[in-house]
Amino acid sequence: MKTLLFLLLTVLCSNAFSQSTISGKIIDQQGLPIMGASVYLKGTYDGTATSEDGTFTFETTATGLQTLIASSISFETYSKADDVTKLNTITIKLKDDVNTLDAVTVNAGTFNAGDNAKVTALKPLDIVTTAGALGDFVGALQTLPGTSNVAEDGRLFVRGGGAEETQIFVDGMRVFTPYSPSANNIPTRGRLSPFLFKGITFSTGGYSAEYGQALSSVLLLNSINEPQEEKTEISIMTVGLGLGNTQKWKKSSLSLNTSYINLAPYQKLYPDNNEWHKPVESVGGEAVYRYKFNNDGLLKVYGAYSSVDFDLTQEDINVADGIRFGLKNRNLYINSSYQDFLEKDWSIATGISFANDRSEIKYNNSDITDIENSAHLKIAFKKFFSSRYKLNFGAEYFATNFTENFEDSNFEDDYEFDNNIFSSFVETDIFFSKKLATKIGIRGEYSELLQEFNISPRLSLAYKAGSNSQFSLAYGEFFQNPKNDYLKYNSDFTAENTTHYIANYQYVKNKQIFRAEAYYKNYGNLVKYDTPFALPTSTYNNSGSGFAKGLDIFWRDNKSIKNTEYWMSYSYLDTERDYQNYPTSATPDFASKHNASLVVKRWIEDWKSQVGLSYNYASGRSYTDPNKGGFLTEQAKSFNSLNANYAYLISPQKILYLSVSNVLGTKNVNGYQYADQTNTDGLFDRRTITPAADRFFFIGFFWTISDNKDDNQLDNL
């Protein structure tokens, strides 16, 4: 009996005595208690949640060395290994998790689009369903502030910069010829089809040291990693036909897209003010192959081929019969990229892109053949030291070979240059806290052609002032070699440069975004020449300069009106330059002082339709009136365009899409052309340059065939 009693006692005692109490308090960095945090001993069932005053207490039967874990939403998880007996009345301070959605983001100068971004200015569908954008992602970006509307060009003009000051990258690799060629006064379109991309970052200044050779802006496109399913897509449009197919295998996938565009029928029905000998005919094909390796490695190979032919005669005030312009363009672009996660929080991204572009141009009686071969090689490494400290560095090489042959009845010549640039960059991201973060980078570039080395420092800083608002600042130096149009005649240049200063305020709350950004840009070493056009015989130098300053405002609201989303942009721009053949400093003819746009989209459930409207306004651009003297001192009338689109889902896989640009038929003016000689009254006659057509109609029928009966091409529109 005694033994039994003894045994019982020992059992009871051992039970009672092996219990230890774990207790303490959990606070945040400000010392405020954290309620509901989880505290437990790793590998045991013992733990609890903190009470309202941040305190916790629980019992454990575990003994010896144990690991205490404390975690709470939006804080970094804390762990401490110690003897259980010492884990009482301890105070644990949890650090803010800087990777949460409500943490500060370094974003001065940058707009993100796509579902991977913390704050999305444009959603994936917006890229393609913005009225007036006609399925061109560049069109959708032109509804963001910081861009100037240059209706007759179609390319991106950012903050007083010319179109060639914006560079486009796909998966980190440069796209050398991103725009389809077009005739004078007819807007061009981007070559890349928008539905290949899932994320778009559009930076209007102050961007990362990873990107160079762009004075004004970079547009970063990320292609889809893995298509969702196998499908065939058929498009029948007023301007042509499209066919796409996606195949998926266990580790890889292949998407093919072909399109045939012929504007002949359209131009028969709606003639424009050009005399077309051969309306635009283009054939294009794209293929994307993706392969996933066993580890996290992902290889993507994108290839695109397109051919564009057209021939037309355009009115010209100095040439009675007009100017004949014909073009045959063949473009091949290959972009391969590989990314992988390595051990110890390293990751690697590498790639190569290659472009071959051949244009045969007929300009009146001259024949011009341009051939451009370009390549970009890049390797970049990233190291995550912690969620608060990241390092990114790499090296890249750009090679461009350009040849031009010019031939007419009495003259023939060849021009050629090689423009090779080696660069390397290093950049670090530091989060001091959830409220304060910085990105510091430096980039070095050596140009073989110009034989010079340039260093560009970049710096951004962001501070979160309240739960919904933040302030950011950015500074950077940017260099870019002069454009091909000059390099083919002369290479005794230095790189053009600009310095950006940006201050940004952002307010984000429940599907509403407000952004205001002020900037100042200072241009130096711009190319100047002394003839009406850049010619082989011109004298060139780098003595040009300029500035741009302004304010960009953006407001998006997806909340206030049910089923309706809208956004508004306003840009104020004050810019002057003394470059090219300008006799004096003046506002270039592509820059308008005020730019505004409003985009509205409404989903009408009963009609299974999305109705979209967009309105673009740009104040008049400058031009020179030789009758009045002066240089770029006159102002043309302002630009107004109201666009509408309508998408009707006939069934889950069939969509009818209608779009009309400039519904009201507003008579816009792209500029004026003055005669070289005065008329009998001693005045220079002028011709108003109007858009080729006031309105543009587009009707398309899109049909998706797949096992998944819900999928459609809504994202292609």
Partner 1 sequence: MKSLLLIASFIFTLSLTSQTPYEKGMNEAFALWEQQKNTEAVQLFERIASVETDNWLPPYYAGLIEIVSSFGLKDEALLNTKLTRAKEFLDNASEISENNPEIMITYALLNTAYIAFDGAKYGMTLSGENVAIYQKALTIAPSNPRVLLGKTEWDMGAAKFFDKSIAPYCEDVERAIVLFNEEEQTVPYYPYSGLERANEISANCKKETSPN
Tell which one of 54, 109, 124, 612 touches partner 1 (CB under 8 A). 124
Q: What DSSP letter does each residue of 423-468 carry, written as one string?
A: EEEEEEEEESSSSEEEEEEEEEEEETTTTEEEEEEEEEEEEE-SSS
Contact 601, 127 (CB under 8 A): no
The least distance separating partner 1 from the CB of residue 650, rounded to whole angstroms, comes to: 9
The least distance separating partner 1 from the CB of residue 198, rounded to whole angstroms, comes to: 7
Q: Is 424 in the site for partner 1 (CB under 8 A)?
A: no
Site size toward partner 1, by CB under 8 A:
44
Q: Is 343 in the site for partner 1 (CB under 8 A)?
A: no
Contact 655, 669 (CB under 8 A): no
Distance, in Å, from the CA atom of 118 to the CA atom of 459, rounded to the nearest integer, reads: 21
Q: Is 233 in the site for partner 1 (CB under 8 A)?
A: no
DSSP H/E element including 641 = strand 639-651
Tell which one of 36, 271, 536, 630 touches partner 1 (CB under 8 A). 36
Q: Is 40 in the site for partner 1 (CB under 8 A)?
A: yes
Which residue from 354, 399, 370, 392 is spatially nearest to 213, judged by alpha carbons? 399
Tokens of 555: 């407001």
Q: What DSSP letter does each residue of 53-97 carry, written as one string?
A: TSEEEEEE---SEEEEEEE-TTB--EEEEEEGGG-SSEEEEPPBP
Distance, in Å, from the CA atom of 66 to the CA atom of 62, rounded to the nearest integer, reads: 8
The least distance separating partner 1 from the CB of residue 696, rounded to whole angstroms, comes to: 26
The one segment of 44-52, 452-460, 476-484, 566-574 that binds partner 1 by CB under 8 A: 44-52
Pairing of strands 231-237, 696-706: antiparallel
Please give the residues from 244 up to 263 whose contact with partner 1 meets the rule CB under 8 A. none
Tell the residue number behind the tokens 């007036």, with chain if given. Answer: 132
Can you name the residues that pair with 508 across neighbouring β-strands? 513
Distance, in Å, from the CA atom of 373 to the CA atom of 176, rounded to the nearest integer, reads: 9
Q: Is 210 in the site for partner 1 (CB under 8 A)?
A: no
Tell which one of 330, 362, 608, 686 touches partner 1 (CB under 8 A). 608
Cα(first)–Cα(last) distance of the chain, in Å?
88
The least distance separating partner 1 from the CB of residue 306, rounded to whole angstroms, comes to: 26
Q: Is 53 in the site for partner 1 (CB under 8 A)?
A: no
Tell the residue number behind the tokens 């005794």, with chain if given. Answer: 492
Q: Is 10 in the site for partner 1 (CB under 8 A)?
A: no
Please give the residues from 633 up to 672 whose contact with partner 1 meets the rule CB under 8 A. 649, 651-652
The least distance separating partner 1 from the CB of residue 554, rounded to whole angstroms, comes to: 17
Give Cβ neighbours of residue 561 (< 8 Å, ≥ 6 apart): none
The least distance separating partner 1 from the CB of residue 649, rounded to whole angstroms, comes to: 7
Residue (227 or 444) nearer to partner 1, CB:
227
Q: Is 313 in the site for partner 1 (CB under 8 A)?
A: no
Residue (41 or 596) nearer to partner 1, CB:
41
The least distance separating partner 1 from the CB of residue 107, rounded to whole angstroms, comes to: 16
Give Cβ neighbours of residue 148 (< 8 Å, ≥ 6 apart): 157, 158, 160, 571, 573, 590, 591, 592, 595, 618
Tell the residue number behind the tokens 């310095």, with chain if given. Answer: 499
The least distance separating partner 1 from the CB of residue 31, rounded to whole angstroms, comes to: 22
Residue (564 or 624) nearer to partner 1, CB:
564
Give Cβ neighbours of residue 650 (< 8 Å, ≥ 6 apart): 608, 656
The least distance separating partner 1 from the CB of residue 659, rounded to whole angstroms, comes to: 19
Q: Is 135 in the site for partner 1 (CB under 8 A)?
A: no
Residue (510 or 677) nearer to partner 1, CB:
510
Residue (4 or 269) nearer to partner 1, CB:
4
Pairing of strands 436-447, 65-71: unpaired
Please give the residues from 557 up to 576 whose contact with partner 1 meets the rule CB under 8 A. 558, 565
Residue (16 or 101) nearer to partner 1, CB:
101
Contact 72, 95 (CB under 8 A): no
Tokens of 367: 């024949």
The one segment of 32-40, 165-173, 473-481, 549-557 that binds partner 1 by CB under 8 A: 32-40
Tokens of 99: 């990777």
Please give the residues from 59 up to 78 whose contact with partner 1 meets the rule CB under 8 A. 69, 73-74
Please give the residues from 491 up to 520 whose contact with partner 1 meets the rule CB under 8 A. 510-511
Tell which one of 44, 89, 252, 688 touches partner 1 (CB under 8 A). 44
Max Cα separation, the chain?
136
Please give the residues from 146 up to 205 whose contact with partner 1 meets the rule CB under 8 A. 198
Distance, in Å, from the CA atom of 246 to the CA atom of 286, rounded to the nearest integer, reads: 12
Give the CA angle between residues 661, 667, 672 to the nearest 5°: 120
Tokens of 5: 């009693």
The least distance separating partner 1 from the CB of residue 567, rounded to whole angstroms, comes to: 13
SS3 content of the chain, % helix, strand, coil (to 5): 5, 60, 35
CA dihedral of residues 698, 638, 498, 422 (deg, nearest 10) = 20
Tell which one of 53, 59, 83, 102 touches partner 1 (CB under 8 A). 102
Q: Is 43 in the site for partner 1 (CB under 8 A)?
A: yes
Tokens of 515: 């952004």
The one segment of 5-13, 365-373, 520-528, 536-544 that binds partner 1 by CB under 8 A: 5-13
Q: Is 271 in the site for partner 1 (CB under 8 A)?
A: no
The least distance separating partner 1 from the CB of residue 546, rounded to whole angstroms, comes to: 39
Q: Is 269 in the site for partner 1 (CB under 8 A)?
A: no
Contact 119, 154 (CB under 8 A): no
The least distance separating partner 1 from the CB of residue 76, rounded to whole angstroms, comes to: 13
The least distance separating partner 1 from the CB of residue 708, rounded to whole angstroms, comes to: 4
Contact 211, 427 (CB under 8 A): no
Tell which one of 52, 343, 681, 707 touches partner 1 (CB under 8 A). 707
Q: What is the contact surface with partner 1 in residues (CB under 8 A)? A: 1, 4-5, 8, 11, 36, 38, 40, 42-47, 49, 69, 73-74, 100-102, 115, 120, 123-125, 198, 228-229, 510-511, 558, 565, 608, 649, 651-652, 707-711, 714-715
